[in-house]
Amino acid sequence: MSFGARLKTVREKLRLTQEQFAELGGVKRVSQHLYEQNARVPDLNYFLKLREHDVDIGFLILGTTSVPKGERSLTVSLAGAAFRAVDEFARDDDGELLPCRERERFFAFLCATLAQDDEAYSTADLKARLSRFASM
């Protein structure tokens, strides 16, 4: 299930219109529609605002509602750093964003990798790690 489909599922489960759900995230209805169509990807502020309304951000971003037994969950700041890193790195040679599905896979990979470490990472730390990873 794509990010847009998960977003629409959550909105419909809450019995909200696109306009009502958009208000929760601090955006306009048009942006909400584009998110649900996978034509655009929301920024971190959108997710943080939805989280304030008890929306399951883990499900929206990763497609899972619980952390598998034995794995530690990501902190919001770590997930935010991964999200920003994806936003900066998931671009083609012309500087255009990669398709939504590829960015989602990259984000899931980053989150899974970072969840195994006990260290805190800044966006700069992630950039350095990703640069080393890309050069392998």
Write the pLDDT tens digit of every residue in 75-126. 556 666 677 777 777 788 888 878 877 877 777 777 766 666 555 555 566 6
pLDDT-above-70 percentage for the chain: 69
Say which range, 22-26, 35-39, 76-80, 117-121, has the weakest mean pLDDT.
117-121
Domain ranges of the chain: 1-59, 67-136
pTM to 2 decimals?
A: 0.53
Closest by Cα among 115, 1, 119 to 68? 115
Closest by Cα among 97, 134, 65 to 109? 134
Q: Which residue has the higher pLDDT, 28 or 55?
A: 28
1-59 CATH fold: 434 Repressor (Amino-terminal Domain) (1.10.260)
pLDDT at 82: 72
